[in-house]
Every structure is written in structure tokens, then in C-alpha cells.
């Protein structure tokens, strides 16, 4: 099986561009074009993210292949994979295509109804099939973060992913490899989550046996809106906030500080997390557990 396309929206297969006379080998190697995957190059103005790498893989994958799993999730509102992560391509079990460095090949059975073609002609697994592969191939925390994003995006799309739809698919696949893992993931999903760090902290708390927090909780005190917070345990008056890069903008710092002061004045405790904190989720869970214990929510 051979790839059927050589050019795609600013991406091109280098050897084919040279053979077609569009470029010379010297021009190709001049450094002007970004090398995305082996023999696939991009115009320098294109944003170098995971979806670009996935589209590059689409130029090389066999005609029966499709972008799948964590890579396909980018088409459904969950672009959380980084440009350094391998692109996942699903192919029929009998296909011997290995893929270049930077591409992970997953040999599996995929029904024609589980693949669609986007406006650029890229074959991508459907939202439901994508969620299944994410649930069965990724770690629990990563899978929840990705599917949460897909569910959130699905709220605004008539054809978007929903929990009932996903649950029905898991039930239909009962008894297959990965079905128990996928079924265990369902209770952890929440379309209110706004970021992967929120999902990861929520999963870590669940695995530690702590009460489930409420994502994106709106805090009101005597009819006054104090703010919307990432995670909350209302019964403990406890808030966990993840502060990403945008929180370090001067205007955002002032806004955040004012919100935290209002929450503290109303008797809410705020645990603020940075990216470095997520490298030790056990320590994060310990802080949350201590706060819940102090509030008398857990014994």
C-alpha cells in the first residue's frame, strides 16, 4: 500500500516535490522549509503543533490508514498532545507499514463507518472510535484529559461526542480487549473540565479515594458572585486552582489576586497549583487530603 497524496495545505513530500520539479534538492535542504517528519516538509509559516505532524503522517500513511487515538482527538476539541508526541496512525491488522520515526502504528480492526475524511482529505477516526482508542491505549489520567476535552467540545457540535454515546459504544464492545479499561473510565469523565491539569488532579483525587470535586464551580456568597474556580469541594469550602502561563500576565495576576482575596474573606481556602506541582501529584493529593481532613469532610 502506498500513500495517495503528495501535497496537503502547505505540507509536501520532499522527494515528490523534487521529482515534480517544484523544488531542487538544494532548495529543499536549504533550511527554508521545516522538516516535520522524514521526507515531509512544511511551509515555514505553518504552526508547528501535533496536528501539523498528524497531517504530515497522513501524507505517508497507506490508503487504508487513518489518524487515530490521541492524534485524532485534536480534530474533536482536545489538542493536548504536544508536537513532540508520536502521531498515532491506525491501520488494518494485515498492513505491514511501519511508519517513519515520530509515528506510532496501531494495528487493529476499524470498520469503514468508524473513519471520516476532513475537508483537506485527511482520514481520521470518528469521535466515538477515537475515544475508544484513547481509553484503551493511554494512561487513565491522559485518557480522561483527552476525552474530557472531546466531550466539552461536543456540547457545541450537533455531531459531538457525548457520554451516553460513548457508554453505548463501550457496552457494544463488551468482552473485547480493553473493554473493562474503557468501562472503568466512564465514571471519571466530566465535560465541565476546562484543561488537562484539572482532569489530572481530579483523577488523582479519585484514585486516592477522596471525594470528587466539582469542576468549574461558581462560588456565590450571600448573592454575590465571587468567581468561577477550577475545582471545588463546596462542603469543605475548598478550592483548587491551576495557574497556567496566562495567569502570569500582569492584568491577570491582579484579577486573580482580587478573586482569591474575596474567596479567603468569605471563608474559602484556596490551593494554587503550578505546572511544577503536577510533576508530583501524590504531593498535590496529600495537600488536598489534609485540607479536607481539617474541614472535617473526611475522617
In the chain, where the domains are located: 49-188, 196-294
- The whole-number pLDDT of residue 156 equals 81
- The whole-number pLDDT of residue 5 equals 59
C-beta neighbour count of 125 within 10 angstroms: 28
As a 3-state breakdown, the chain gives helix, strand, coil percent values, each rounded to 5, of 45, 20, 35
Residues in the chain, pLDDT under 50: 1-4, 246-248, 250
- The whole-number pLDDT of residue 247 equals 46
C-alpha cell at 139: 494512561
Residue located via cell numbers 516535520 = 36
120, 9 contact by CB (below 8 A): yes
Side by side, the strands of the sheet bearing 214-221 are 214-221, 224-233, 238-242, 269-273
CATH pick for 196-294 out of 3.40.50.620, 3.40.50.11720, 3.40.960.10, 3.60.150.10: 3.40.960.10
Distance CA 206, CA 185 (A): 11
C-beta neighbour count of 13 within 10 angstroms: 21
Distance CA 265, CA 253 (A): 18
What does pTM read for this prediction? 0.87
- The whole-number pLDDT of residue 254 equals 52
- Cα–chain-centroid distance for residue 116? 20
Using only C-alpha atoms, what is the Rg of the chain? 22
Amino acid at each position: 500500500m502506498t500513500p495517495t497524496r503528495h501535497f496537503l495545505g502547505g505540507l509536501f513530500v520532499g522527494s515528490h516535490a523534487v521529482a515534480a520539479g517544484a523544488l531542487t534538492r538544494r532548495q529543499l535542504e536549504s533550511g527554508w522549509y521545516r522538516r516535520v517528519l522524514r521526507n515531509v516538509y512544511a511551509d515555514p509559516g505553518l504552526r508547528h503543533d501535533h496536528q501539523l505532524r498528524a497531517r504530515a503522517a497522513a501524507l505517508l500513511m497507506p490508503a487504508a490508514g487513518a489518524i487515530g487515538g490521541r492524534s485524532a482527538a485534536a480534530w474533536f476539541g482536545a489538542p493536548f498532545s504536544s508536537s513532540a508526541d508520536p502521531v498515532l496512525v491506525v491501520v488494518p491488522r494485515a498492513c505491514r507499514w511501519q511508519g517513519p520515526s515520530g509515528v506510532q502504528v496501531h494495528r487493529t480492526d476499524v470498520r469503514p463507518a468508524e473513519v471520516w475524511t476532513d475537508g483537506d482529505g485527511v482520514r481520521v477516526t470518528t469521535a466515538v472510535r477515537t475515544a475508544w482508542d484513547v481509553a484503551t491505549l493511554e494512561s487513565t489520567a491522559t485518557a480522561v484529559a483527552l476525552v474530557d476535552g472531546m466531550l466539552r467540545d461536543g456540547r457545541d457540535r450537533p455531531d459531538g461526542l457525548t457520554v451516553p454515546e460513548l457508554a453505548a459504544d463501550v457496552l457494544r464492545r463488551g468482552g473485547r480487549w480493553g473493554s473493562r479499561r474503557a468501562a472503568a473510565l466512564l465514571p471519571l469523565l466530566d465535560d465541565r473540565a476546562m484543561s488537562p491539569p484539572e482532569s489530572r488532579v481530579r483523577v488523582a483525587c479519585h484514585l486516592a479515594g477522596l471525594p470528587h470535586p466539582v469542576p468549574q464551580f461558581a462560588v456565590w456568597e450571600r448573592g454575590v458572585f465571587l468567581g468561577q474556580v477550577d475545582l471545588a469541594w463546596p462542603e469543605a469550602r475548598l478550592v483548587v486552582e491551576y495557574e497556567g502561563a496566562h495567569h502570569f500576565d500582569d492584568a491577570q495576576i491582579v484579577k486573580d489576586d482580587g478573586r482569591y482575596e474575596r474567596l479567603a474573606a468569605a471563608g474559602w481556602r484556596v490551593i494554587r497549583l503550578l505546572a511544577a506541582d503536577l510533576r508530583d501529584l501524590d504531593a498535590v493529593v496529600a495537600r488536598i487530603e489534609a485540607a479536607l481532613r481539617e474541614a472535617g469532610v473526611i475522617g
